[in-house]
Amino acid sequence: MAIRLGIDVGGTFTDLLLYDDATERSFRAKTPSTPEDQSIGVIDGIRQISEISGVKPADIDLILHGATVATNAVLEGKGARVGLLTTKGFEYTLHLAKSWTPGPLFGWIIMDKPEPLARLDDTKGIVERIDARGGVDTQLDIAQATEAIKDLCGSGIEALTISLLHSYANPDHERVLKKIVAEHFPDIPVSLSSDILPEFREYDRAITTVMNDYVRPIMHNYLSQFASRLDQENIKARLHIVRSDGGLMSAEAASERPVHTILSGPAGGVTSTAIIARKTGVNKLLAFDMGGTSTDVSVILDGEPTVARSTEVGYFPAKVPTLDIRSVGAGGGSIANVSELTKSLRVGPASAGAKPGPVAYGKGGTQATVSDANVTLGYLPAKLLGGEMTLNVDGARAAVAKIGTAIGLDAEAAAQGILDIANETMLGALRLVTVQRGLDPREFGIVAFGGAGPLHANAMAAVLGCYPVIVPPNPGVLSALGFVQSEFKNEFVQTLIRSGDEFKADELWSHCRRLQKLAGDWLDEESVAPGDQSVRYTIDLRYEQQGFEVTVDLPQKAIDDDDLERVLSSFHDLHDRMYGVRFDVPVELVALRVVAIGAMPALIEKAPAGGADANPDDAIIEHHPTYFRGTWVDTPNYDREKLTQGTTIQGPAIIRQYDTTTLLLPDHRAEVDQFGNLVIWPTDGGKNND
């Protein structure tokens, strides 16, 4: 039994959600974010939620925090000055960045390449060399190394990365260097590539480790500042940070390995979607999080989020386990424009952001955005419920009309066009996570959240056939809700490149047992009760010499029964399903991963009041002209708070609530289910395939 607090720091607002296991009650609060020091806004929020809930700050047991400081530092180029030690002769690894240039032919003409995260001035080569099998080709030159370290560490760097060739196969030299640094410069934080990413491919390993150091001082400062503020408020709660793969790590671990928080922010919504899948029984779901500048989508399979091995933060790759979230540059603030030469309409990726924002917000925006198109068609009401803001409908319409003039369409058709094109971009992302992986979107439902998700999700479903559309009760705090229900999670990896005769089951099982021990120790350290502990095994396999691995589950039973064949056969099947082909060439083992999991009790939500006989008309705020399929229709606008369990309403309709607006299209109906979700189906359809 505990009192848990979830904190989601967004670009504009900080959302908090407090849950008390004992009373089964949850409370939420929202305060403006304070980008100069996020902890100020967070503390404000804690005071506020304490007032609302009557829970004393000192009584909070656990704080589960989605941290965006690392992401922002990389995206804004505001990280620390990082020094880099590499193998001599390979100082330019980051500068060359794999030599990649974009397509099509001549794509380099318009390429922009940012400065590496560790500058060349701060990079030093060390005389040493390990070979691909982990053997020492050239001994580490301690004298030269010490000199280089003194030179570099005395130059004002704030963190140091050590990334030597083949250190995944033999980390000795990296460790010796770390010791030398600790002797002379005990205050400089050091990351070893063999710790952060013990996998082959030198650029990926180096950039990921450097990124860790690039954000490390910032994360460290933030967390220590936050800890002292908590102290001042007499809050004794344990602080945990949400990892990019949706798991939790201690604040201490996050200080050491902040690169693991690089997709911390969007993870909460995905975790919530997985929980919705388990609760509603719709166990295949698409998470659709549409915000102001971008949209994040991901897949829930059998009630579990899918995990990817790498992600990109702006220009830079980061090879860390992350929830497999695809992000596209389409959101409410995406700007529409017309190409001069071809007269084609483009929407985004440029965004009006929070400032100047869409024209409708009256904060100085002049270019038509997706939100302005929604206003023009009557989908976004002029007065947002619970908000103080009144939208500038005429301004939005004029901006959209201007786009229409350029392509010979009236304002309504232009608005519809802007929405269709933005929707298409988001559909592209949804296709990427489904059909491109051999998954049929028609077997999925879709969960809409983020400020703009519920406005667009019905249209997504109409094209992809992914029903039902589920709009949870509080789409605006879905992330914070996910955080309070996140599991403890950590991954233990062993790179083992083995094929042919070298690929032996015995060796694999013995590594399984070794990593399982590490996993258990970690869970104990995180104070996870034995009953809540579990481990999962996966192995990365590929056809010999293929460059990309397929991750296959390794069931405990296969280990117990010494049944490697079964694992190989699931590899062939999976490869066939994903890529439509299987080969008769040797299978190669690349890595073993053991994931330690500490369960967190689910939140129990009380169903909203009401009954089947409730009259939805009581919830109508007003009727408002709204544009569907070429005509204006007088459309009811409902108050979401007044829609009770079991109520069904027919589309078209607009459903307004404090933090979002849901658009219910014609020929669709929405029901309120026992958890308070709005569940949208086509009028003539019904059941999900599951």
Restricted to residues 117-156, the positions that interact with other proteins (CB under 8 A) are: 120-121, 129, 131-132, 137
Provide the minimum distance between the beta carbon of 106 and other proteins in the complex, in angstroms, as a whole number: 4
Residues 75-94 that bind other proteins (CB under 8 A): 88-93
Give the one residue of 47, 56, 184, 201 binding other proteins; rule: CB under 8 A. 201
In angstroms, the CA 47 to CA 656 distance is 28
End-to-end Cα, the chain, rounded Å: 34
Q: Applying CB under 8 A, does 497 fall inside the site for other proteins?
A: yes
Task: Please say which residue, 225 or 367, places its beta carbon nearer to other proteins.
Answer: 367
Give the one residue of 139, 155, 339, 556 binding other proteins; rule: CB under 8 A. 339
Provide the minimum distance between the beta carbon of 440 and other proteins in the complex, in angstroms, as a whole number: 11
Give the one residue of 34, 538, 546, 650 binding other proteins; rule: CB under 8 A. 546
Q: Applying CB under 8 A, does 19 fall inside the site for other proteins?
A: no
Provide the minimum distance between the beta carbon of 593 and other proteins in the complex, in angstroms, as a whole number: 19
**Region at 524 (left for phi over 0; alpha for psi -120 to 50; beta for the rest):** alpha
Task: Please say which residue, 42 or 446, places its beta carbon nearer to other proteins.
Answer: 446
In angstroms, the CA 42 to CA 624 distance is 38
Q: Site size for other proteins, by CB under 8 A?
A: 73
At which residue do the structure tokens 């599991």 appear? 487
Give the one residue of 358, 417, 454, 651 binding other proteins; rule: CB under 8 A. 417
Task: Please say which residue, 39 or 295, places its beta carbon nearer to other proteins.
Answer: 295
Task: Please say which residue, 534 or 538, places its beta carbon nearer to other proteins.
Answer: 538
Strand ranges of the sheet holding 587-598, from the earlier edge strand across to the other edge: 25-32, 13-20, 3-9, 62-66, 238-242, 248-250, 488-498, 587-598, 533-543, 550-554
Provide the minimum distance between the beta carbon of 73 and other proteins in the complex, in angstroms, as a whole number: 23
Provide the minimum distance between the beta carbon of 427 and other proteins in the complex, in angstroms, as a whole number: 8
Give the one residue of 23, 155, 344, 366 binding other proteins; rule: CB under 8 A. 344
Residues 202-221 that bind other proteins (CB under 8 A): 202-204
- Tokens matching residue 241: 């940070």
Task: Please say which residue, 548 or 629, places its beta carbon nearer to other proteins.
Answer: 548
How many Cα atoms sit within 13 Å of 122 on the Cβ side?
23
Residues 345-404 that bind other proteins (CB under 8 A): 345-346
The piece of 4-12, 51-59, 75-83, 198-206 that touches other proteins (CB under 8 A) is 198-206
Q: Applying CB under 8 A, does 110 fall inside the site for other proteins?
A: yes
DSSP state of 114: P
Residues 583-602 that bind other proteins (CB under 8 A): 583, 585
Collapsing DSSP to helix, strand or coil, 218 comes out as helix
Q: How would you label 547-563 residue by residue, b for 16+ Cβ within 10 Å and e otherwise?
A: eebbbbebeeebbeeee
H or E element in which residue 29 lies: strand 25-32
Q: Applying CB under 8 A, does 101 fall inside the site for other proteins?
A: yes
Give the one residue of 52, 58, 96, 604 binding other proteins; rule: CB under 8 A. 96
Q: Applying CB under 8 A, does 531 fall inside the site for other proteins?
A: no
In angstroms, the CA 654 to CA 637 distance is 5
- Tokens matching residue 77: 């180029």
Q: Applying CB under 8 A, does 178 fall inside the site for other proteins?
A: no
Provide the minimum distance between the beta carbon of 434 and other proteins in the complex, in angstroms, as a whole number: 12
In angstroms, the CA 140 to CA 167 distance is 13
In angstroms, the CA 129 to CA 197 distance is 19
356: cis peptide before it, omega within 30°?
yes
How many other C-beta atoms lie within 10 A of the C-beta of residue 215? 30
Give the one residue of 156, 531, 547, 611 binding other proteins; rule: CB under 8 A. 547
Contact letters for other proteins, residues 227-266 (x by CB under 8 A):
----------------------------------------
Residues 426-465 that bind other proteins (CB under 8 A): 428, 431-432, 435-436, 463
Task: Please say which residue, 61 or 420, places its beta carbon nearer to other proteins.
Answer: 420
In angstroms, the CA 16 to CA 476 distance is 10
Q: Applying CB under 8 A, does 187 fall inside the site for other proteins?
A: no
Give the one residue of 22, 186, 234, 408 binding other proteins; rule: CB under 8 A. 408
Compute the C-alpha angle 110/111/113, nearest 5°. 150
Q: Applying CB under 8 A, does 577 fall inside the site for other proteins?
A: no
The piece of 35-43, 146-154, 415-423, 551-559 that touches other proteins (CB under 8 A) is 415-423
Task: Please say which residue, 530 or 580, places its beta carbon nearer to other proteins.
Answer: 580
Angle between the N-to-C axes of helices 202-232 and 38-53, in degrees from 0 to 180, rounded to the nearest 10: 50
Nearest to 392 by CA among 383, 402, 379, 401: 383
Evaluated on CA atoms 496, 498, 502, 504, the torsion sign reads positive
